[in-house]
Amino acid sequence: MLGGAGMLLAASPAQAADVSYATECIPPPISGLPPVEGTTKVQLTAPAEAKVGDTVEVVWKTVEAASRNPDMLDLGKDTVKPTGTLKVGGDATGTVQMEGPRQNPPIPKNSAMVLPDMKGTLKLEKAGEITLTPDAYNINVSKPISTDTKCTPKEAVQPGATIKVTEGGGSTTTGGTTSGSTSGSTSGSTTAGGTTSGSTTAGGTTAGGTTAGGTTAGGTTAGGSDSGGSTSGSGGGSGQTDFPGKEVSVRFACESPGPPDIGSKVTINAKKSGGSYALTVKTAKGVMDSPADLPAGALKPSMDVALGGADKGSVKVTGPANAEPLKLGKPVDLADMTGTYKPGASGKSTLSPGTLTIDVTLGGQKISIPCKVKGSAAVSLELDTAAQEGGASGSATSGSAGSTAGGTASGGLAATGAEDNGTLRALGLVAGTAILLGGAVFTFTPWRRLRGTR
């Protein structure tokens, strides 16, 4: 990590020079933090002279990063990995892909970022003078989840090194990039002279998860025939107690740091008890792939079931937290969500999927990610209701995960067991959200605090 690599078979002493440039860094989408502008100072080490046919090694030492580790969490040892690009100019054109190992000392909150040196190789194919100029770079943090902060120059950057290439030699030296724990492809050598061969930028992918599919459908509700997207099931004095809903397709738009769009199948079932209804809301299996490794008990879903027809307002239903740890990239199932609906009006009342919220708790921080229904959701269930004192009309009734009993919230609005309201933020949000940690780490002051704290 201590800088100094020069030409692998140096024909002349290596040179080192510092270059500073204004930089804009974009924190991970899951962090919800705005772009930050700062100054990057880089020292490039490369041979002053070499011969055509030589393969030389270049070292990028980040003397000063464009940000500090915010006052959010300490970064552990060997969790930071940089990758970047050098522009080749002068009598040759191309790029050199740079990569550093995942190697760093512990970085406390509110302290300077410490990045390991990056290395790359360049094969020289024609005589002349070539220049090497620092360009964009990426900072990957592996814990608590893999996140990337992408930094690009905001002004013309001066070359940081010049190599005089002379005819002769023909021998080619070999070498490679310093390897560490990589999150992407390993960088390869680059040929100066117009083409870049086999080099790809290494680095982890930005957490955020994948967007589950599912098309919007005008589903029908329990009871029988299809009528304008919903059909009624008798909830009155017929003696029936179980009212199964129809599976409907819903698309959700999630707030940052969640995914912009996710889809899921949703079914709302009801069981009558006295004048109230115990609701159970089911979502599709494998709504999305987990964006990170999450421990048991870290993720908890809830939903605001929208009331229509005779009744108004919403009913909150909540589900238990994940019982088993979630693995990065593996499909995630949301637990069934339950709550109690106490009607506030008499007549035909409809129940449709509403805002879905994912609460993630990690490291003592609780983050709520809401996802709102895009457009209008189809009705899943229609009931013949009889108004109850303190019922939901115009408000939300309360419910708690795993229980059908619930009181009414002041004002009659459906309240739910979940502390925060929100929408089904893509599961990916979940991990990502909880992981403001890793990504926020590289956003620069001022730092925006997580919205929900315990």
Query: For residue range 82-125, what is the model confidence (pLDDT) as tens digits?
Result: 999 999 999 999 999 999 999 999 988 888 889 999 999 999 99
Burial class (CB in 10 A: 0-12, 13-18, 19+), 93: middle
Count Cβ atoms below 10 Å from residue 247 Cβ, excluding itself.
Answer: 17
pLDDT of residue 366: 76
Residues in Cβ contact with 166 at an 8 Å cutoff, skipping those fewer than 6 apart: 49, 50, 51, 52, 127
Spatial CA neighbour of 177 closest among 97, 246, 107: 97
CA distances from 352 to 224, 289, 391, 409 (A): 17, 25, 18, 20
First to last CA, the chain: 39
Give phi and psi for 66, each to the nearest 5. -80, 10
Distance between CA 338 and CA 277 in Å, rounded?
Answer: 11
Cross-strand pairs, 69:
111
The 10s digit of each residue's pLDDT in 329-358 is 678 888 999 999 999 999 999 999 999 998
Helix, strand, or coil (residue 84): strand
Distance between CA 230 and CA 277 in Å, rounded?
Answer: 19
Q: What is the mean pLDDT of residues 408-413?
A: 31
Residues in Cβ contact with 239 at an 8 Å cutoff, skipping those fewer than 6 apart: none
Question: Is the Cα torsion angle 16, 20, 26, 28 positive or negative in sign?
Answer: positive
**Using alpha carbons only, how large is the chain's radius of gyration in Å?**
29
Spatial CA neighbour of 384 closest among 428, 347, 415, 412: 347
pLDDT band with cut points at 50, 70 and 90 for residue 255? confident
pTM: predicted TM-score of the whole model, two decimal places: 0.45
Residue type, 270: A
Q: What is the mean pLDDT of residues 360-370?
A: 77
Q: Are 284 and 264 in contact (CB under 8 A)?
A: yes
pLDDT of residue 292: 67
